[in-house]
Every structure is written in structure tokens, then in C-alpha cells.
Amino acid sequence: MISTILCDLDGVVWLAHRPIAGATEAIASLQAAGRRVLFVTNNSAATVATQEAALAAIGVDATGSVVSSAMAAALLVEPGERVLVAGGPGLVEAMQARGVEVVVNDGTLERPAIEAAPFDAVVTGLHRDFDYARLSSAAAAIHLGARLIGTNSDPTYPTPHGLDPGGGSILAAIATAALVEPVVAGKPHPPMASLIATMLTSPMSPYDPGTVMMVGDRMDTDGSFAIELGCRFALVRSGSTPPGSKVEGLPLDALDVADLRAVASAVLAEDD
């Protein structure tokens, strides 16, 4: 039986914080039936409290249930390291909670200043004030020895008006300018999978992929993440993957349905 639902946000629960029809009711029905719902998102820009409040605003209780790519990225740095953060408040929050020295990349750092106080890592995520100056500062830090960590590699994310550039687009720009391959923390990569498996493990109950389902709107991100975790996948056609489009690599046991409401119906049918 599926006892834990790992639920993506953008394209599954909402589009730009506008709830997708039936999603709020679907989450409530799963929670009422005793299923644990974790909101596993590659969004690293918003703080956890901001994401919980946004979900509460549409009627979803997500207290303590938001897992972001910023949290996974924090596991890739060590307390005491000096980190240049090219991202939003959520990424800064996660880095500070890890105990690193955070310097926000505002584009004013030039190479001599970086040489005087070098960085151990550049950690990047979606931020809408990214520009050439910030790109230059991040690349200079990496040229001087900092490793590059990305919260996610998503090239786009869905909105009610179509696809917008995602955090992966910014990561790609920095990696290209710095001539390095980044380590990526979020879905579908191992750091996020390790974080989730740890969260679903207790002294009396080891992680059991047979009790877990990942719900997402992208095969390349969410479906691959389910494969990384060894759990089932449910693809919804309410976000980045449009209805009727062909999807390569979809697992044979995957659900391929319209929306989260259909996922909830299928999962709860197991109780009948």
C-alpha cells in the first residue's frame, strides 16, 4: 500500500500559486485517509515558511512537510565553509541553517576581492535579478577554486501563461562561463533522494520504496527521481507535460493521469 505521497508543487498543486482544479481536495482526502504527503520541490527561491504559508492560503496544511532543493544543496557544503550564494532567500536560509558563512552574490564582488577572501563553493538557484555582473562574480569565484553546486537543473518551470526559465538555466550559464560541471542537489539527483530516504527512515522502520509514490509533471525530473528512489511514479498532465504528448521512458507501472485528483482516487481505491 502507498502510505507516503511525494508531491511536486509547480504543475501539480498550483501554477504560480494558483491552485490547479481539484488539487487541494485531493491532498485533503489523502491526508484524511492517513497518507503522509510531503511537498518535494525544486523551488529553492522561497523560504520554507513562505512555501508553507502559500500552501495554507489555498487550504493545504503543509506544516513541516515542505522539502526543497535548497535543503538538499545544504548537505553538499560543510559547516564553516565560505559560500557565495547566487539564489533567493530560501537558499540563503538553508545555507545559514547549515552553519556556513554566506555571502549573497549581488554582482559587486570583483576578482581582487575574491582572491583576498576566496570561496569554497558557489551555490546557485533561481533568482530573478540574475545578470551579467552576478554571472561574472560567480564565474570568478569558481575560477579561483570554488566548486559549483546547483539546487536544480530544471531548464523551465510552468506558469498559467506558459513556461518560464528555471533555475537550471541560470546554473547552465554559470557552468558555461566557469568551464566546470556542477554538482546538482535537487530532483532527480542523489542528494535529494538521500534526503527523502533519510526522512522516511526510522529506527523501527527502514525506508521502503514500495510504500512511496512520487507525483510530478515531468518525466525527466520527477519520473527520474522516482527511479532514483526506487518508488512508483504518477505523471500528471496539469503542468509541463501537456495532455496527449508522448513521454519517453515512462515506467510500466507508472500512473499517467490528468491531475492530482486522479492520483488520489487511484491511491485511495486501494482501501476498497
Pairing between β-strand 232-236 and β-strand 162-165 as defined by DSSP bridges = unpaired
256 is an active site residue: no
Alpha helices in the chain (DSSP H): 23-32, 48-57, 69-74, 89-98, 111-116, 132-143, 167-178, 190-199, 224-229, 260-268
Residue 271 is classified by DSSP as G
- DSSP tally for the chain: helices H, then strands E: 10, 15
Nearest to 129 by CA among 105, 148, 109, 149: 105
164 is an active site residue: no
Evaluate whether 97 touches 125 at the Cβ level (below 8 Å): no
Cα–Cα distance between 192 and 211 in angstroms, integer? 18
Question: Pick the catalytic residue: 10, 120, 217, 222?
Answer: 10
Cα–Cα distance between 82 and 103 in angstroms, integer? 8
The catalytic residues are 8, 10
